Amino acid sequence: MFETLPGFRDFPPEACSRRNHLFRVFRTVARAFDFKEYDAPVLEPLDLYVEKSGAEIVGQLFHFEDKGNRQVALRPEMTPTLARMVAASANSLPKPIKWFNVGEHFRYERPQKGRGRSFYQFNADLLGESTTAADAELLALLVAIFETLGLGVQDFKIRLSDRNTWIFLLEELGVSEEIRPAVLNAIDKSERRKPEQTIESLEQTMPGKGEFLWDKIQEIKKIDSLDALIGRLKSGNQKADKIIQDWQNITDLLKAHGAYAYITIDLSIVRGLAYYTGFVYEAFEASGKGRALAGGGRYDHLLKKLSGNVDMPACGFAIGDMTLSDCLESKGLLPKYVMTPDLYLIAGLNEQKHGISLVSQARKGGFSTAYSLKSSGFGKQFKDAGKSGARYALILGSEEVEKQNVKIKDLRNATETTVSQKSLLAKLEEFDAEGGIQPA
């Protein structure tokens, strides 16, 4: 017997419909926000990822040489692909560009809770707009998706941070642009590390100042309100004023979107990647435990880096299907999807073919219809109809055929109605609209 590869999942019908439920919500809500769906190959040139993330990334990719001696990789994320697509026609695309994708991604990592080697992501990106309105639009979309899935304020929170704030405050502490990435990286990892390890990293980056920096960083990480933040930034300085202005804008906009209740100001979020430039955020289950449900931020210089000539501000986020499914499951928000037909034909032995033509008619009318593929008695067919979960049974015996009728039985309350075969579809639609069959 063959098994799925480690970190990969099969999706038999029930799992598949749960997954599709997520996808349906992603698409519906994204369209409500006027985002356009796009798609792209899952296989890309390996260099696309090396260029963006550095050579270390190769160890985490599914990659190989194809028959044309090209180094290729299964996509581990969507952003480089998106950047390439947008850069290719940047001048002709109406701005702002609001695109989303639902797709499979691959990372060669150790499978763990909420993390596999194949997973699905919802990616939404907004390009060509540098104001905080774009960041707020994306955060509002993220919140709307979670709300539509049934999650509320008691279920999840979004930790919002800003790299510009960090850059400004680190500058004040004497952190130069050169060593800034290393310091931000250490801050990002400090969430998952012992303090001594972080101090050691900082000490290596800024000899003699590791302890000092860590003390200051901890102070900054504790900031959890707009007032505290403004107090720390102190207005008067032009740069500080701009940052304060951005925070005030995004706060006001998120309040207008009805999304602010989910937001926690939390500067401990910086995200590991060097390319983030402004607001960054991660969504977590309300308790804060577990992996991030979603994450994103602004990446104003990435297009330029990847394309070489197109410079365009951009921001975006991604939601992973595994952590999200786990979260929904634990809260009972993944109802058991049962795929059932609307109708089940029950026909006598001599009426089977006649019945199939009725089935065909019903199917063309948009009703999902099942019937027994082999000859069996009425009793057996009723049993199968019951097990199928169909709402109505269409009963066709010699009496009905003789009178050109068909009997419709509501399998939930056992009431029956006899209608002419000609009016079957109309009657079914009527029932459909009423939401049930009426007792005779």
Residue 300 sits in the site that holds RNA (CB under 7 A): no
Question: Quick check: helix, strand or coil at residue 426?
Answer: helix
Return the range that interacts with RNA (CB under 7 A); candidates 222-230, 251-259, 406-414, 428-436: 406-414
**Do 180 and 213 form a contact (C-beta atoms < 8 A)?**
no
* Selected binder of RNA within 61, 145, 213, 244 (CB under 7 A): 61
440 lies in the site for RNA, by CB under 7 A: no
Size of the site for RNA (CB under 7 A): 55
Other C-beta atoms within 10 Å of 374: how many?
A: 6
Binding mask 336-375 for RNA (x = CB under 7 A): ------------xx--------------------------
Of 124-132, 151-159, 229-237, 395-403, the window that binds RNA (rule: CB under 7 A) is: 395-403
Tell me the closest approach of the beta carbon of residue 308 to RNA, in angstroms: 21
Tell me if 387 contacts RNA by CB under 7 A: yes
Q: How far is the CB of 46 from RNA (least distance, A)?
A: 11
Closest approach of Cβ 108 to RNA, in Å? 8
Say what angle helices 163-172 and 180-190 make with each other, to 10 degrees.
120
3 scored as a contact of RNA (CB under 7 A) = yes
Interface with RNA includes 10 (CB under 7 A)?
Answer: no
Q: Exposed, middle or buried, 133 (CB in 10 Å: 0-12/13-18/19+)?
A: middle
Residues near 27 by beta carbon (within 8 Å), at least 6 away in sequence: 37, 100, 102
Residues 22 to 41: which contact RNA by CB under 7 A?
none
Angle, helix 180-190 to helix 210-222, in steps of 10 degrees: 60
Least CB distance to RNA at residue 193 (A): 6
Residue 231 tokens, joined: 């107090």
Taking CB under 7 A as the criterion, the residue among 376, 420, 423, 438 binding RNA is 376
Among 411, 419, 424, 437, interactor with RNA by CB under 7 A: 411
394 binds RNA (CB under 7 A): no
C-beta separation of 368 from 341 below 8 A: yes
385 scored as a contact of RNA (CB under 7 A)? yes
C-beta of 105: minimal distance to RNA in Å? 9
380 binds RNA (CB under 7 A): yes
> What is the phi-psi region of residue 325: left when phi exceeds 0, alpha when psi lies from -120 to 50, beta otherwise?
alpha
Among positions 159, 163, 298, 409, the unique one binding RNA when judged by CB under 7 A: 409
Torsion sign over Cα 405, 372, 412, 379 = positive
**Token representation of residue 303:** 């297009």
Q: Is the Cβ of residue 106 or residue 156 nearer to RNA in the bound state? A: 106
45 is an interface residue for RNA by CB under 7 A: no
Q: Angle of helix 321-330 relative to helix 13-32, nearest 10 degrees?
A: 100
Give the residue, chosen from 27, 180, 209, 291, that forms a contact with RNA under the rule CB under 7 A: 291
Q: In this complex, which beta carbon is closest to RNA, that of residue 87 or of residue 253?
A: 87
Q: Closest Cα partner for 136 from 299, 257, 313? A: 257
Positive or negative, the CA dihedral 376, 381, 387, 390 is: positive
Which span sits near RNA by CB under 7 A: 52-60, 133-141, 212-220, 355-363? 52-60
Residue (70 or 380) nearer to RNA, CB: 380
Residues 95 to 154: which contact RNA by CB under 7 A?
107, 109-113, 115
296, β-bridge pairs? 281, 317
Nearest to 400 by CA among 339, 346, 332: 346
Cβ closest to RNA, residue 23 vs residue 108 = 108
Structure token digits, residue 277? 């430039």
Cβ atoms of 102 and 26 within 8 Å: the answer is yes
Q: Which of 347, 394, 386 shows the shortest CA–CA distance to 369?
A: 394
Applying CB under 7 A, the residues found at the interface with RNA are 1, 3, 6-7, 49, 53, 57, 60-61, 76-77, 79, 107, 109-113, 115, 188-189, 192-193, 271-273, 291, 295, 318, 348-349, 376-380, 382-383, 385-387, 389, 395, 397-400, 407, 409-414, 416
